[in-house]
Each structure stands twice: as C-alpha cells, then as structure tokens.
C-alpha cells in the first residue's frame, strides 16, 4: 500500500472457481484494463502474466496462486486492488485455502455452460469458512449451451445461506451474446474495440423493456428483503437514491447476506470492467474487516487485533523456497513494518529481521521500504518460518488463526538413480514440502525408500516433473499408492498409568480417556469432560489434550494415521509432588496404546467424482466405473450433455484421466475431490494388495 492510498480504498480479493471456469482469463483482463499490462495475456498462446510456471503454460491450468496489485480508476469507482489468482484443480486446494484465509473478498466465477461444478461448491465452502464476502461472475455466455438463467438458478439452489441477486442480464445468447444490461441503472453496456476497452452505454430497446423491468423489480425486492431502509422506499414505491442503494448493497454484501451476480465472457472481453467496479463498490476494504481473532502468547486468552493497533502483526500464508533465502508471502493485519525491523515468530519464539519487503506482481517483485495494515507483500529474511506462522511485534506477542490443510491421500516412492544424488534429492523434497503444506515426505521403515505423499496423481506428477526440470535430479518413481487410514472398531474407556522413577524422583499419574468412532469433518475431535475438579492444573489438561491429538495422528495397528475418532479426557489423577506435564503425557499415551490394541479398522479414501460427457458416451463411462466400486448418485441432463455424479474409492481411479478420453472420444471432462473415508472389506483389501496398490 502506498502512503497516498487510504485503507478504505484497498481491496484484497481472490479469484476462485472450478478448473477451466476462466479465472486466469478474467484476471489477465483486470491487469490489462487497469493499465498494468500492455497486451492481454492469453492462456492458449502461453503469454499469461499470472500463469508463469512452465508447467502452467504447458497444461493451460493454474497450479500456484499468483498475486498482483493493480490501480483501478473508472467513472464509477477507483481504488487499489491486491488480487490473488488461485488454482481450480482440487489437487491444489492448499493454494486456495491459504489464499482465502488472507483475502477480504472474493470473485467466484461460474461457467455459463457447466454451471455450478464440484470445485465451485468446494471453493464456496472455503470462503464461507473464513466469512469472506463474495460477488459472482457467470462467464462463457458466448459459448454453445451457455445459459445465464440456468446457472443463476443453480447458484440460488446450492447456496441458500446467501441471497444471490442478478445485477445484470445478458444481451443475446451463445453466439449472439454482445453485451449486458445494468439493472441498477437500466442501461445496456457494450464493450467495443478489438480489446473491449471502451464501454458504451445504450438505452434498453422496447423489445427488452418488460423483461428488464421485471428483473430490476426482483433485484430491488431481494435487496429490500435484507435492508429495512430499502424496504421502506420499496413498499412506498418511492425512487431510491443511487448513493443510498449502493451503500445498502455494500453493507449487505460485507455482512455476507447478499451476493451480486454479473454476466459476461472474459474471453470475448465482455463484462469485465463492471466486475472491477463492483469489487471497489461492494467488496470490503481492510477497514471494513478491521478486527481479526488472535491468541495472546502470554496469557493464552483470545484477543482481537485491530487494524489501527500500533504493534505490527501479520500472517505468513505462502512460502516460495529458495536456495539461500525463502520468499514469504505476508498479509499484514496491524501496525507498520519496515526493512530491518525485528519481529517475533510466535510459533518458534525466535526474533527475526526483515531484510527486504517486496511488492508482488506474479513472478516479478518491486522493493518497498515500509508497509501498513491491510497489505499483501513478499518479505525476505526470516529463517525457520513457514506457512501459517504469525510474525508480530515482540512487545505484543500474538498468534493469529492458523490455516488448516487437508492430509495427503496418495503416495509414491522416490529414489535417485545415482547414489551421489541421494542428499540432493532429500534436500529437494524438503524444499518442495516447505513450499506446499499438502506435500509430505517420510522414509519407509522397512525399505528405507523416501515416500512423497500428495493430494492426487496430478499433484505428484507436477512435483516429480519439478525434480527433473528445476533441480536436474535423475530419479526413479514408484507407482502411486493410496494413503489409507484407520479407526477404532468400537468405543472404549481406558485408564493409563505412568509409574516411573527417574533419578531420585518417583513420578505417578493416572489418566482416564474415552474414545469412540465417529464420522466427523475434522477427522479427530479431542475434548475434556473433567467434572468436579476445577482446581486441576491447566497445564495437565493441555498436556493431555496435545498428547491425545498427536498420538492419534501417529498411527494404528497397521501403521496408518487414525481418523474419525472422538477422544475425551475424563479424569487426571496425581499430586503436585509426583505429577508433571511429562507424566500426564506418558499416562495418556499408555491409555491410547491400550485402546488401539483393542482393534482397528482399515479405511480407504473416497472421492466425489463429477463427469460431463456427451449422452451417447455415458453408458461406456458408467460401464467402466461400476466394476471399480463406483456408487452412482445420479445422471442429470444439461445442455447438449449429461452430468454424472458418483462416489468412487481413490484406489480404483488410477489411470482414469487417461482412460476417460478414450471412453468419450476426447469429449468428456471430470473433476474429483476427497469425500471422506469408508471401511475397506477384507476381499477388496486382498485384491488391492495383489494389484500392488497397497502394501504393509
């Protein structure tokens, strides 16, 4: 943020959507129309600014989130926009998760052809989790089979918690789509010139007047349902002042109650500038979201960080690992940060110095000397700092809410072809895992091989390609294998006893814990239910909870991490003289080992699969899926195609991305996302072992 830019003129926004909905295409137009670039970046020709990695340009998809800052000025609005273009493929959901964590508002893009797709629902849920206000853009309305009304109806049906309201209507459809109707001002907007940079207003012709009048009536009624101020004008049939209407819309959007929906075709340069105006007009500034939750390191109590606080506080949400120094993406929440300032890493307790502050523009950077609250920048200097770490003033040590990432579901073995590359390969994998929290590296206990785990085949493929192309390491890669989980067979209550003499001191602690298998979104729930012992030291209770959480993640009888378990600390018995945090942890671990020894069940990851395919090929596809234990949820009719929804075990999906084009003649597309875990039968387990998809 420049010194001349006030906080209420800043917009930190993310572009989120299903893969191939047009996120990068829209973002490249944002850069061009704002004057940041002098030509429109094109995905097909590999000239995009935000998709800059070789893998991104070769595949035509976004893999890593890229940030850019643009100044937007029009007759309607002006301000500074920090935008983050995020991936749409489910394998790179970590990039979306950490981006949504730090933005103040989002533009959600839907394809007018495919409508609300699986990943569209996923990113919507992610934005809801962090209470991020949204506006929507229905894209690709120039394409065959596109329908604004159908897609809008899907948005209202699938996201009932927020009121979606159409702020525009398309002029024409499919190949005749040529502009949009602004329902607030009741004008047609045309986007002229080769690049659509000139926005021309026209009066609505008589043939469209009735339809547009009805649509505007619905829009005002939707706003009146949320705003008492607008309701008074609406019920009394009085003209609503433009400034009042805009202010009330903004208030309801920031409250998360209203989602304005816009229309256009980013590829054809239609409808882009009104979205930029809407970002400034309706999405929140850092000033509108001035408070964020934190925990005081000294007291352990919750606190609120105010953007007007003098002490600096910021969150590291992305790491670009480097040989000598990492580039850390930082969102500042309070105070000012300058080059050479000393800050505290609240996770490690270390004080670190800021050597450089960089304004981000995709892969390019521009040095700055100082930043204020509400900014998104890159910093260089802090060591031993990772994604989710809080950097703050040592005078006010705080921890901001961390970022939750899903656990890996698929693994491959990696080994160098030459023994001289052994250390280089390990360093390379450590660097990749430092950048991507959904990558995990460990060494197999029996074979000694390095195992790399990730979110899917594409996720692992891209990272193995990086090993060869960027780090020039010649390595061998095993076949992908599923990362299974375990859960308890039945509920139990056990008592763990820690009774040990260390030196001259006798340590004794008893801990009662209750464990029960439950299906929960968090995977593991740890609680306390200690009644009648209010005087129990809090350090004992914290030690018991932390030990339980970490112990459940270490593994069950078969060596896989435990999941779908609710663990409750029921009681801790000891004396101040003979009980410490360590002895409490020992008692809890002893109880946990007893519970696991009672028996566990193997679980396999289940995927939600959505396929769009021509009607004549849907039979071939279902015939392929059914022997692979797919559970068909339904087949819906959409424009010119069929939409197949099913659940299928991940272990059965290896090679599906190459099989689908053959089954559909190259005319089908699919998306897949994790959908929990299900019990694996003994016969299916034996078949997977025989097929070399799982080993113990």
pLDDT, one tens digit per residue, over 564-614 is 999 999 999 988 888 999 999 999 999 999 999 888 888 988 888 888 888
In this prediction, residue 462 carries a pLDDT of 83
Strand partners, 168: 182
Kindly report, residue by residue over 643-685, the tens digit of the pLDDT. 898 999 988 888 887 888 888 887 787 777 778 888 887 777 7
- Rounded CA-CA distance 197/270 in Å is 9
Mean pLDDT of 233-257: 92
425: Cβ contacts below 8 Å, ≥ 6 apart: 414, 415, 416, 450, 467, 473, 475
Segment 401-419, tens digit of pLDDT: 888 777 787 888 888 888 8
What CA–CA distances, in Å, run from 493 to 159, 508, 511, 514, 571? 41, 20, 11, 4, 11
The predicted pLDDT at position 673 comes to 76
Range with the poorest average pLDDT among 139-153, 207-221, 345-359, 434-448: 434-448
Residue 324, pLDDT > 80, answer: no
Q: What is the per-residue pLDDT across 236-245, written as a single tens digit (0 to 9) for each?
A: 888 899 999 9
Check: CB of residue 430 under 8 Å from CB of residue 384.
no
Does 370 have pLDDT greater than 70? yes
pTM, two decimals, is 0.75
Q: Which residues contact 609 (CB under 8 A, 6 or more apart)?
A: 625, 630, 644, 645, 646, 647, 648, 653, 670, 671, 672
Mean pLDDT, to the nearest integer, of 130-134?
92
Mean pLDDT score of the chain: 86
Best-predicted range by mean pLDDT among 30-44, 568-582, 635-649? 568-582
Mean local confidence (pLDDT), 56-62: 51
Strand locations in 115-227, DSSP E? 134-139, 163-166, 168-171, 179-182, 187-192, 198-202
In Å, how far from its chain's centre is CA 277?
A: 25
State the number of CA atoms in the 13 A half-sphere of 381 facing the CB: 21
Any residues with CB less than 8 A from the CB of 529 and at least 6 apart, and which?
Answer: 514, 568, 569, 570
Does the pLDDT at position 393 exceed 50?
Answer: yes
Alpha-carbon gap, residue 109 to 188, rounded angstroms: 22
Q: Where are the beta strands (DSSP E) in 631-692?
A: 631-638, 641-649, 669-679
Q: Is the pLDDT of residue 362 over 70?
A: no
pLDDT of residue 106: 94
Close Cβ partners of 616 (under 8 Å, ≥ 6 residues apart): none
376 strand-pairing partners: 331
- Name the region of 449 (left: φ>0; alpha: ψ -120 to 50; beta: rest): beta
Q: Which residues pair with 410 in a beta bridge?
A: 454, 482
pLDDT at 323 over 80: no
CA–centroid distance for 510 within its chain: 41
Confidence check: pLDDT of 41 > 70: no
pLDDT at 211: 94
pLDDT band at 118 (very low <50, low <70, confident <90, very high): confident
Mean pLDDT of 15-39: 85
Read off the pLDDT of each residue in 348-360 and give the average, rounded to a whole number: 90
SS3 554: helix
Whether residue 433 has pLDDT greater than 90:
no
494 DSSP β-pair partners: 513
Q: What is the pLDDT of residue 4?
A: 47
- Residue 250 binned pLDDT confidence (cut-offs 50, 70, 90): very high
Q: What does the alpha-carbon distance between residue 353 and residue 383 come to, in Å, rounded to a whole number?
A: 9
Alpha-carbon torsion, ordered 175, 179, 184, 185, to 10 deg: -150
What pLDDT does 47 receive?
58
* pLDDT higher than threshold 60 for residue 2: no
Q: Could you tell me what percent of the chain has a pLDDT over 70?
A: 92
Mean pLDDT on 375-381: 89
């Amino acid at each position: 943020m420049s010194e001349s830019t006030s906080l209420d003129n800043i917009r930190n926004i993310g572009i989120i959507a299903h893969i191939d909905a047009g996120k990068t295409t829209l973002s490249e137009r944002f850069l061009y129309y704002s004057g940041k670039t002098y030509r429109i970046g094109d995905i097909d020709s590999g000239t995009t600014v935000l998709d800059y990695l070789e893998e991104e340009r070769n595949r035509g998809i976004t893999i890593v989130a890229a940030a850019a800052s643009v100044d937007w000025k029009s007759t309607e609005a002006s301000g500074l926009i920090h935008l983050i273009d995020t991936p749409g493929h489910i394998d790179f959901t970590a990039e979306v998760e950490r981006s949504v964590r730090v933005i103040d508002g989002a533009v959600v893009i839907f394809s007018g052809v495919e409508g609300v797709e699986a990943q569209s629902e996923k990113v919507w849920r992610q934005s809801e989790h962090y209470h991020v206000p949204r506006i929507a853009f229905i894209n690709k309305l120039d394409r065959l089979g596109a329908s604004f009304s159908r897609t809008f109806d899907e948005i209202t049906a699938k996201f009932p918690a927020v009121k979606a309201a159409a702020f525009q209507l398309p002029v024409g459809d499919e190949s005749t789509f040529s502009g949009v109707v602004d329902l607030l001002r009741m004008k047609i907007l045309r986007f002229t010139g080769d690049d659509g940079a000139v926005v021309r207003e026209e009066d609505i012709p008589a043939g469209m007047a009735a339809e547009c009048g009805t649509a505007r009536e619905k829009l005002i009624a939707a706003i009146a349902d949320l705003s008492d101020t607008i309701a008074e004008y609406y019920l009394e049939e009085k003209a609503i002042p433009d400034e009042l209407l805009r202010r009330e819309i903004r208030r309801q959007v920031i409250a998360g109650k209203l989602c304005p929906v816009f229309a256009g075709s980013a590829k054809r340069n239609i409808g882009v500038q009104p979205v930029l105006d809407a970002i400034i007009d309706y999405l929140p500034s850092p000033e509108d979201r001035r408070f964020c939750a934190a925990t005081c390191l000294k007291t352990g109590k919750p606190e609120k960080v105010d953007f007007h606080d003098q002490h600096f506080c910021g969150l590291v949400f992305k790491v670009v690992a480097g040989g000598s120094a990492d580039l850390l993406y930082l969102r500042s929440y309070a105070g000012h940060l300058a080059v050479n300032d000393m800050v505290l890493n609240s996770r490690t307790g270390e004080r670190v110095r800021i050597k450089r502050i960089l304004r981000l523009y995709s892969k390019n950077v521009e040095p700055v000397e100082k930043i204020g609250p509400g900014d998104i920048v890159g910093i260089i200097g802090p060591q031993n700092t990772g994604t989710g770490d809080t950097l703050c003033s040592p005078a006010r040590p705080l921890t901001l809410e961390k970022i939750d990432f899903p656990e890996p579901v698929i693994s491959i073995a990696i080994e160098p072809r030459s023994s001289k590359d052994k250390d280089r390969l390990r360093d390379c994998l450590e660097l990749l895992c430092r950048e991507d929290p959904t990558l995990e590296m460990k060494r197999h206990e029996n074979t000694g091989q390095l195992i790399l785990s990730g979110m899917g085949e594409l996720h692992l493929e891209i990272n193995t390609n990086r090993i060869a192309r960027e780090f020039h390491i010649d390595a061998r890669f095993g076949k992908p294998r599923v990362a299974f989980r375990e859960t308890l067979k039945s509920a139990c209550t056990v008592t763990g006893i820690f009774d040990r003499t260390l030196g001259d001191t006798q340590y004794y602690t008893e801990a009662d814990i209750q464990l029960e298998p439950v299906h929960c979104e968090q995977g593991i729930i740890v609680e306390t239910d200690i009644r009648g012992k209010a005087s129990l030291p809090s350090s004992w209770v914290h030690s018991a909870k932390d030990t339980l959480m970490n112990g459940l993640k270490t593994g069950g009888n078969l060596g896989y991490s435990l999941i779908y378990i609710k663990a409750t600390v029921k009681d801790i018995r000891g004396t101040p003289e003979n009980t410490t945090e360590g002895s409490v942890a020992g008692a809890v671990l002893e109880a946990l080992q007893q519970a696991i020894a009672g028996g566990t069940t193997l679980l396999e990851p289940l995927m939600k699969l959505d396929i769009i395919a021509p009607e004549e090929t849907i039979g071939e596809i279902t015939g392929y899926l059914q022997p692979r234990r797919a559970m068909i949820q339904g087949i819906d009719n959409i424009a010119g195609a069929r939409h197949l929804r099913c659940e299928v075990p991940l272990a059965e999906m290896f090679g599906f991305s190459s099989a689908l084009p053959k089954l559909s003649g190259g005319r089908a597309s699919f998306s897949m996302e994790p959908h929990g875990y299900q019990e694996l039968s003994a016969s299916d387990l034996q078949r997977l072992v025989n097929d070399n998809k799982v080993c113990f």
